[in-house]
Amino acid sequence: MNKCMAHRGWSSKAPENTMAAFQLAFQEPRIDSIEMDVQLSNDGVPIIIHDFTLDRTTNGTGFVYQYSYQELARLDAGGGQKIPTLEEVLQASRGKCKLNLEIKTAGGLHPGIERKVVDLIKQYQMEGEVVLTSFDHPVIEKVKYLSTTIRTGLIMSGMPTMLNDQLSRTGATILSMEYPFITKTFADEMLSRGIEIVAWTVNTPEEIEKVMKIHPEIQICTNYPDRMFPFM
């Protein structure tokens, strides 16, 4: 049966990437995991926010990396929620729900983020509850160097080229892809090789049903987990 992954928490019911959205997902047993995004504050604190800028999801402005955590913590991330730290999320989710953490970086942004994230996961002994993914594939290579036990994945936009080389080089065992590019032939091949597939972002009932029919082992990442429940 396809597993449900809540995209940035239950983001259709609460502000994305906030503790309110995560708590809603923790309380729903049909949600298997939560996808969220991690960056660093100016003073090196791993925080949960998607965009490189603050403007869309908070009442702040400018780039995330320009601000200390104390400055970021004073912002409203929607509905009175604040930007959570990764440590707060790990503390709240331990033993309740698996996490899919996307490490958000590009062009050398957030140097050292891999070690900070891995160290926190090890500190809370959650290596088996968290997977780390990224569009930036060298990040995943660094994660594998830092930990042989934390599972990792590559995020792809469109149909990937030289995929086998990338999987081999990075040691990733998860492939997170835009759902329109996932075919039955592709899914069968990857899954038969032990590569898990996450389809994003699958939001309408029609899209959800279509992806579920491709293969029962594809994980469905959605803003609307409740739209998936009737098919489960």
pLDDT tens profile 110-136: 999 999 999 999 999 999 999 999 999
| Residues 93, 95, 97: CA angle, nearest 5 degrees | 55
Instruction: Using pLDDT thresholds of 50, 70 and 90, give the confidence band for residue 161.
Output: confident
| Residues 7, 43, 117: CA angle, nearest 5 degrees | 45
CA 231 to chain centre: 23
pTM over 0.75: yes
Question: 62-115 pLDDT, tens per residue?
Answer: 999 999 999 999 999 999 999 999 999 999 999 999 999 999 998 889 999 999
Instruction: Using pLDDT thresholds of 50, 70 and 90, give the confidence band for residue 160.
Output: confident
**Mean pLDDT across 33-57:** 98
What domain range includes position 132? 4-231
Question: 175-214 pLDDT, tens per residue?
Answer: 999 999 999 999 999 999 999 999 999 999 999 999 999 9
Q: Decide: residue 62, CB within 10 A, 0-12 exposed, 13-18 middle, 19+ buried.
A: exposed
**What CATH number did the domain enclosing 129 receive?**
3.20.20.190
Q: Which residues belong to the active site?
A: 7, 50
Question: For residue 2, which of 224, 214, 223 has the smallest C-alpha distance?
Answer: 214
Instruction: Using pLDDT thresholds of 50, 70 and 90, give the confidence band for residue 155.
Output: very high
Please give the tally of structural domains in the chain.
Answer: 1
